[in-house]
Structure 1
Amino acid sequence: MIYNIFCFLVWLFCVPFLMFFSVKKKYRLSIPSRFFLYKNSPLKQSDVHFHACSFGEINSLEILSKNFNSSFSVITQTGLEKALKFNNNSKFLPFELFLPFWLSKSKVLVIFEAELWLNLVKYAKKNGAFVILLNARISDKSYKKYLKFKFYYKQIFNNIDLVLAQSNIDEIRLKELGAKNIKVVGNIKSANLKQVSKIYPKFKEKLIIVASSHDGEEELILKSIKPKLNQKFLIAPRHPERFKRVSKICEDFAKRNSLKFEKFSSNLGLKSDIILLDTMNELINFYKICDVVILCGSFIDGIGGHNPIEIAQFNKPIISGKFFYNQKTLYDLVGGIKFTDLSNINDILSLNLERSYIKNSCNFDEIVNLIKEQI
């Protein structure tokens, strides 16, 4: 009761700010749905309710969820869009205040990684669900912050029946926060790999992908690169709302170097030297035919890196920055990554780089069976 009163006071205080941000395109659907229940009726009952944050996490759960009668709750708009493509029983997860009467019954609740909300697990347990925390991890950067709120996380873990951790280090940290019944199964992202949906012919030029880039990284990388005649660049921003801005950056880069530029969405045949991949769900198809991937999210401090395993499944050379602390476990699963601060990027791109490879992966069938045992 005290926690719900606290949530109500927080919600009341934040209402003016929520109203302000709800006019922004990025939050136009999520804020009204999550904080005001606008067009956000409860999920239909299912055997397994999966909850994850955004596009990448939902993407990791797609194949797993197809083994069950499932439903999805998400936090972001891109996450919901992705979930609805393969599961119509998908909604935004409302703010904690609304969960006591919004949450539908399920036999199992599977929470992905760090989506730890007290009312979500508490009322799922009250509804009779077996609660699983899947792919659990505590990053180096987050660990001290978690410890400051240990009292809160202890209450959460009191309502979690099974924790499937990524590594032994995660197991130790999770125990410190109050988690019980922990099983180290590895990272599901290393076993549940997204597959190619379309086959593109390989380019005669050397295809270099600048993958999952964030604000500031495109400019930093392109400023460091001196393109050669046999090179073709595919720029793939992480967030779709940045496509327009990155298009201008790429266009300016092309003009400075007397190169041709096009956007993927323009359907011009992919004949240009610089191509902006301004669409979702296509990057995996280009990983298969590329020659090198510059994996972003790692060149500017504050992001923490991205998943290298999707690339390593194709044994493509990977170039990365040093700021990958949020993906340390995944980086440890991949061999052959070349690290740089971009000062020597042109020399590196000229080398016959070592191919990346996945060192080991978790047992996907084991995870499926652990969930099935509770249905």
Structure 2
Amino acid sequence: MHRLLYSLLWFLLTPFLLLKLFLRSRKNPAYRQRIAERFAFVNYPVKTNQPRALFHLVSVGETLAAIDIVQAFIKKYPDYEIIITSTTPTGSDRVKAAFGDKVQNYYLPFDYAFAQRRLLKQLAPDLIVLMETELWPNTLHYADKYQIPTVLMNARLSERSLKGYQKLVTLSAKMMAQISFVSAQYEADGNRFIELGLDKAKLQIAGSLKFDIKVKDEWLHKARTLNQVWQTAERFIWLAASTHKGEDEKILAAHQALLKVDPNAVLILVPRHPERFESVFQLSAKRFATIKRSTEQTVQDCQVIIGDSMGEMMAYYQVADLAFVGGSLVEHGGHNPLEPAALKKPILSGPHVFNFEHIFEQLVAVNGALMCKSSEDLAEKVIQLNQNQNQRDDLGRASHLLLAQLGGATDKTLSLLSKYLEPESN
């Protein structure tokens, strides 16, 4: 009965879902493309004799976190066809950039019963791997019906999300019964899944995949290229990564304060979503000499660079002398601070980091990150670090050491997945 009501709700929401896609497409035209995939109105490839694994990686953040484990999976199990589903155009773009034609990529359909039935019946994966908190009742129902093992990897469940699921206690308990295994990031996350009804025997605490970041030569090569293009080797550069609406003004205000102390300083400002590149450029250009990364101009007298490229964030981190991790001066919940830690960069963040609460707590505890309460506080700390190379080095070393100590989730999760694979499971 609960699943029937849930399915009815999805049908009632259809006009609003289409309207949401249309509104988003006004800023990012990709949202009006591939609409048929949102409803599974496509002919999925016929199942061959090869086994298949389906990874649902959602959007950019989850895709970046999962790249290494999917690559390790491909290397260990070369006979498997890999299908990766996404939710957003930017997530899909990152899949294509990371894997090319090694994998098939589709949007995961909305959680209509008919759509999930069609998807799973036609693709017939031998294993489904979901990321973090991607719990969809119809997806899990049909995976269970078709006897497809379903693993939730890098799982996290905040107190806020737990309370939401508890309002639908019968539906949540059913999902916990249908899921095969949960590999949680932290013990607190695991305990919340148990509160929802997950059997303790279906749980392991593996840590976060986001701790397993290996510095790649291509990042360093891109960083050297950027330095050559921009000619910024002698200037202080700070990066504001993955910023959200309402945050850019605060970042630019902090940069204005820094320029009073160091007129040669440069800010690399990278909005989280590509559809905001132009508006943030216009915002910055009103007050600062601003260029776009895509123009490949030298910096010269430039004060702000808008990072309007895809797949270069790690190169931006490498070029910068310090990094502010966005989504945290507004109530978005923050982003992954471990990417700059992998490159031994000092980390700054705003106070709103509930998506990465455990990681920031540990970083602050080892003096690997500084938290900023406001735009003014951010300006003070940027100026402080601008004038203190030793403090920057200490922060970078501390964050990098913590990252090294907390790694290993990729190996643990890959070992777990192997239990559900053929012929290894025989």
Q: Distance in 2 between matches of 1:333 and 1:106?
A: 38
Name the Cα RMSD after superposition. 2.1
- CA distance change for structure 1 residues 296 and 30 in 2, over 3 Å: closer, same or farther? farther
Q: Which residue does the alignment assign to 2:84?
A: 72
- Asked if structure 2 preserves the Cα contact closer than 8 Å seen for 1:307 and 1:331, the reply is no
Query: What is the TM-score when the length of structure 1 is the normalising length?
Result: 0.90
Report the Cα distance in structure 1 between the residues aligned to 2:37 and 2:124, rounded to whole angstroms. 20
- Partner letter of residue 366 of structure 1? K
Question: What is the TM-score of this pair, normalised by structure 2?
Answer: 0.80
Aligned to 2:290, which of 258, 261, 264?
261
Secondary structure of 1:158's partner? helix
**Given residue 55 of structure 1, which amino acid in structure 2 is its aligned partner?**
V
Alignment match, 2:327: 297
Measure, in 2, the Cα distance between the counterparts of 1:151 and 1:171. Answer: 19
Any idea what the Cα deviations from partners look like across 1:49-90, whole Å, max 9, x if unmatched? Answer: 111211111122122112233211111111122223314411
Distance 1:193 1:307, change over 3 A: farther
Which piece of structure 1 moves more, 97-106 or 138-147? 138-147
| Identical pairs, percent | 27
Residue segments in structure 2 that go unaligned for 5+ positions in a row = 75-79, 422-426
**Pair 1:44–1:332, CA change in 2 (3 A):** farther
Residue 274 of structure 2 corresponds to: 240
Q: Equivalents in 2 of 1:305, 1:89: separation in Å?
A: 30
Contact 1:316/1:355, CA 8 A, preserved across alignment: yes
Counterpart residue type for residue 278 of structure 2: K
- Output one character per residue of 1:103-144: Cα deviation in whole Å (capped at 9) or x when no partner: 122222111001101221222233332211101111233232
Q: 2:209 aligns with which of 188, 192, 202?
A: 188
Confirm or deny that 1:250 pairs with 2:284: yes
- 1:159 positional shift: 1.2
Measure, in 1, the Cα distance between the counterparts of 2:14 and 2:189. 36
Distance (whole Å) between structure 2 residues aligned to residue 344 and residue 41 of structure 1: 54
- Cα pair 1:207 1:233 within 8 Å, conserved: yes
DSSP 3-state at the match of 2:154: strand
1:95 match: 110
Is the alpha carbon distance of 1:229 and 1:308 closer, same or farther for their aligned partners in structure 2, counting shifts above 3 Å? same
CA-to-partner distance for each residue in 1:146-181, whole Å, 9 max, x for gaps?
A: 222232221111111211011111111110011221
Match of residue 373, structure 1, among 419, 422, 426: 419
Q: Which amino acid aligns with 1:118?
A: P
1:5-20 to 2 correspondences below 5 Å: 5-20=4-19
- Higher fraction of helix: 2
Measure the CA separation in 2 of the matches of 1:28 and 1:330: 36
Say which SS state the counterpart of residue 62 (structure 2) adopts: helix
- The match for 1:42 among 44, 53, 70 is 44
**Residues 41 and 193 of structure 1, relative CA distance in 2, 3 Å threshold:** farther
Listed one character per residue, the Cα deviations across residues 211-263 of structure 1 (whole Å, up to 9, x for unaligned) are 11000101122123322223111000001111111011111120xxxxx3110
Q: Distance in 1 between matches of 2:420 and 2:246?
A: 46
- Pair 333,374 (structure 1): closer, same or farther in 2 beyond 3 Å: farther
CA distance in 2 between counterparts of 1:130 and 1:32 reads: 26
